[in-house]
A and B are shown apart, each in its own frame.
Chain A
């Protein structure tokens, strides 16, 4: 594909992406009460965790595993915001196993655009809006006037959104190879969150290696925190970005390789 073709394709996919976002939101708003309750409920549920952290810090003192209470608030804000953004835009990644098993991928393969983008953007999550909102509220409450904090928060949110979607996608892609990998997908998503909402030094070296390699959620949360606290050289931001891009590219390649094994199916289904 030449440069003009690539630019045209990019514009087309951007238009589809925008269209999906508007339709997903419109679909969510069809059930206004459910939307409001789920979004608000999620924000409330997240608040309870912060309350427990506040109690823990009061009991233990100034820091836990090298993290202050403000540091924990920062990683919570970045992971919550990133998770929210990821599941607002790419919620269907966690539905991939189901799509493969029921043969629903057919509909995406029949359309003249990127199968991967088309399918992962085709669904949103209502409670994700609560998560995204919660991340921003935390930052507004505790880092309102700190522009550096907002910069690294934004960086972390974008990185986490991309990495979380890629981790979920990779785990669910295993369904092409070994049958239903839905529970592996759920586990991988859960690990990603666990790795990002606790101080990283509470984990042993093996788990920490995992947090920066196979399930690299730490890149998107703990690295931005260290950059914000100036514990890392700013150039580390570029390395983390490069690592995230490489991981996402590998996830895409793994998906397309698995897609060759797709066998379709005839289950009666309706697009939700």
Chain B
């Protein structure tokens, strides 16, 4: 049963164009010039319940823009989309109750307070009763091993501890879909492995659908069964992860996942 469906999804926006130097700045003040940027161009795909799909592409390919449209943050310029049977923008609040997200570059935790306090606020936002909050926090704390630092102000946590708290926070309301935008960015290999194991466990035990963007080939190799490749806003590949090698055209049997992905990106750039 599909939980995400997009058909010809498009996002264009207007960007200001300005030449170099002060003169160009003054001219732009009087007569600004704009260009249309097509961040996402007619992307159609379907994600089934319980899938773990990698959404990959070079920087500026349109990955984050695509995810933000699925989450109801951005208005699509064209096409159709449905997430859990809802239109993200129209049903933003109802949809938000059923999805979770981790944007590796942005925090949903309060810097000066312990993560446990952020969980209390999130429980109020997600309409979780106090008793249920205590039960869920205890469970997540156990699974994510947060016990040692859940009462330490977030500013004093290591990046790995913070990301574990972020993922736990995104799961507090028991979402059906988890959107992860570069969740392992900046983490060391041990913490990356721990985060991956936790995500896999959640998928196995609760059937949570995971939609992941990452520049880390190990995330894709170890977590995902399906790879969706986007470049310059267009979908260029959608296949099982094990077929990426064949599709990339890399012949060497020793080629790493990093080589394979780089080859796919180069192929996309050349086309």
Contacts and interface: CB of A to CB of B under 8 A. Distances in A.
Nearest to A8: B127
| Most chain A CB atoms below 10 A, which of B65, B75, B113, B121 | B121
Given A26-B113, A106-B73, A264 B105 contact: no
A112 B126 contact: yes
Contacts, number: 90
Contact of B75 (A19, A112, A118, A260): A260
B121 A20 contact: yes
Interface string B35-71: 0000000000000000000000000000011001001
Nearest to B118: A23
A260 B64 CA distance: 18
Given A110-B71, A266-B105, A16 B13 contact: no
Interface string B103-115: 1011111111100
A112 B64 CA distance: 20
B105 A112 contact: no
Can you list the 6 inter-chain pairs with the closest CB atoms, starting with the nearest? Answer: A112-B96, A112-B93, A19-B124, A27-B112, A268-B105, A112-B97
A30 B106 CA distance: 22
Interface residues of B, number: 34
A131 interface: no
A70 interface: no
Nearest to A18: B124
Interface string A1-36: 000000000001001101110010011001100000
Contact of B106 (A15, A20, A111, A269): A269
Given A112-B96, A271-B106, A271-B111, 19 more contacts: A12-B124, A15-B124, A16-B121, A16-B124, A26-B113, A30-B153, A106-B68, A107-B107, A109-B72, A110-B101, A111-B126, A113-B125, A262-B74, A268-B105, A270-B106, A270-B107, A271-B108, A271-B109, A271-B110
| Most chain B CB atoms below 10 A, which of A15, A112, A118 | A112
B64 A272 contact: no
B106 A106 contact: yes
Interface string B83-117: 00000000011101101010101111111110001
Contacts of B106: 103-104, 106-107, 268-271
Nearest to A20: B121
B111 A270 contact: yes
Nearest to A259: B75
A19 to B, nearest CB: 4
A23 B120 CA distance: 9
A227 B82 CA distance: 55
